[in-house]
Amino acid sequence: MTEPRATHPSGAPLPDKGGHFEEFGGKFVPEALYAALAQLEDAFDAAQQDPDFAAELSRLQRDYAGRPTPITEATRFSEHCGGARMLLKREDLNHTGSHKINNVLGQALLTRRMGKRRVIAETGAGQHGVASATAAALLGLECRVYMGKVDTDRQALNVARMQMLGAEVVAVKAGSQTLKDAMNEAMRDWVTHVDDTHYLIGTVGGPHPFPRIVREFQRIISTESRAQVLEKYGQLPDAVCACIGGGSNAMGIFADFIPDEGVGLYGFEAGGDGVDTGRHAASITAGSLGVLHGARTYVLQDEDGQTVESHSISAGLDYPGVGPEHAWLARTGRATYRPITDTEAMDALMLLTRTEGILPAIESAHAVAGAQKLALELVERPEFRTKPPTILVNISGRGDKDVSTALEWFGIDGSVDRETEEVR
Partner 1 sequence: MSSSAQAILTARTQNRAALVGYLPVGYPDVAGSFDALRAITEGSDGTGVDLVEIGAPYSDPVMDGLAIQHAATRALERGVRTADVFRAVEAVTATGTPAVVMTYWNLVEHYGVERYARDLASAGGSGLITPDLTPDDAEPWIAASEQHDLDRIFLIAPSSTDERIALTTRACRGWVYATAVMGVTGARQQTSSAAPDLVARIRAQSDLPVGVGLGVSNGDQAAEIGAYADAVIVGSALVKELIDNERTGSSDLSGLRAVVDDLAAGVRRAR
Evaluated on CA atoms 288, 239, 128, 343, the torsion sign reads: positive
Q: Does 299 bind partner 1 (CB under 8 A)?
A: yes
By beta-carbon proximity to partner 1, the closer residue of 9 and 18 is 18
What binding mask, one character per residue, do residues 102-131 give for partner 1 by CB under 8 A, x or -?
A: ------------------------------
Number of Cβ within a 10 Å radius of residue 248: 31
Q: Does 293 bind partner 1 (CB under 8 A)?
A: yes
408 is annotated as an active-site residue: no
Identified binder of partner 1 from the candidate list 52, 63, 195, 261, rule CB under 8 A: 195
377 is annotated as an active-site residue: no
Count of chain residues binding partner 1 (CB under 8 A): 36
149 is annotated as an active-site residue: no
By beta-carbon proximity to partner 1, the closer residue of 74 and 150 is 150
Evaluated on CA atoms 111, 115, 117, 122, the torsion sign reads: negative
- Taking the C-alpha atoms of residue 169 and residue 166, their distance in angstroms, rounded to an integer, is 9
Identified binder of partner 1 from the candidate list 137, 286, 291, 376, rule CB under 8 A: 291
In whole angstroms, the minimum distance from the beta carbon of 177 to partner 1 comes to 12
By beta-carbon proximity to partner 1, the closer residue of 177 and 372 is 177
Interstrand relation of 24-25 and 20-21 (parallel, antiparallel or unpaired): antiparallel
By beta-carbon proximity to partner 1, the closer residue of 15 and 370 is 15
- Taking the C-alpha atoms of residue 311 and residue 178, their distance in angstroms, rounded to an integer, is 10
Q: Does 290 bind partner 1 (CB under 8 A)?
A: yes
What binding mask, one character per residue, do residues 397-416 give for partner 1 by CB under 8 A, x or -?
A: --------------------
In whole angstroms, the minimum distance from the beta carbon of 35 to partner 1 comes to 4
In whole angstroms, the minimum distance from the beta carbon of 61 to partner 1 comes to 33
By beta-carbon proximity to partner 1, the closer residue of 32 and 230 is 32
Taking contact as CB under 8 A, which single stretch among the options 184-192, 239-247, 254-262, 328-336 is the one that binds partner 1?
184-192
Considering only residues 17 to 46 of the shown chain, the ones binding partner 1 according to CB under 8 A are 18, 26-36
- Taking the C-alpha atoms of residue 310 and residue 318, their distance in angstroms, rounded to an integer, is 6
Q: What are phi and psi of 269, to 5 degrees?
A: -90, 165
By beta-carbon proximity to partner 1, the closer residue of 4 and 30 is 30
Residue of 27, 91, 116, 122 with catalytic role = 122
- Taking the C-alpha atoms of residue 86 and residue 77, their distance in angstroms, rounded to an integer, is 8
By beta-carbon proximity to partner 1, the closer residue of 42 and 400 is 42
Residue of 100, 116, 373, 401 with catalytic role = 100
Give the type of residue at 333.
Answer: G
Q: Does 194 bind partner 1 (CB under 8 A)?
A: yes
Q: What are phi and psi of 291, to 5 degrees?
A: -115, 125
Identified binder of partner 1 from the candidate list 111, 177, 184, 396, rule CB under 8 A: 184
Identified binder of partner 1 from the candidate list 49, 306, 386, 415, rule CB under 8 A: 306
Q: Is 63 exposed, middle or buried (0-12, 13-18, 19+ CB in 10 A)?
A: exposed
3-state secondary structure 167-197: CEEEEECCCCCCHHHHHHHHHHHHHHHCCCE
Rounded to whole angstroms, what are the CA distances from 24 to 32, 83, 102, 164? 22, 39, 25, 39
In whole angstroms, the minimum distance from the beta carbon of 373 to partner 1 comes to 33
Taking contact as CB under 8 A, which single stretch among the options 136-144, 288-296, 340-348, 371-379 is the one that binds partner 1?
288-296
Number of Cβ within a 10 Å radius of residue 102: 26
Number of Cβ within a 10 Å radius of residue 28: 15
Nearest to 190 by CA among 88, 271, 118: 118
Considering only residues 123 to 182 of the shown chain, the ones binding partner 1 according to CB under 8 A are 174-175, 180-181
Identified binder of partner 1 from the candidate list 292, 322, 327, 406, rule CB under 8 A: 292
Number of Cβ within a 10 Å radius of residue 262: 9
Alpha carbon 323 to its chain's center: 10
Beta carbons of 399 and 360 less than 8 angstroms apart: yes
- Taking the C-alpha atoms of residue 302 and residue 158, their distance in angstroms, rounded to an integer, is 32
The phi-psi region of residue 158 (left if phi > 0; otherwise alpha if psi is between -120 and 50; otherwise beta) is: alpha
Residues lying near partner 1 in the complex (CB under 8 A) are found at 18, 26-36, 174-175, 180-181, 184, 187-188, 191-195, 290-294, 296, 299, 301, 304-307
Instruction: Enumerate the active-site residues.
Output: 100, 122, 396
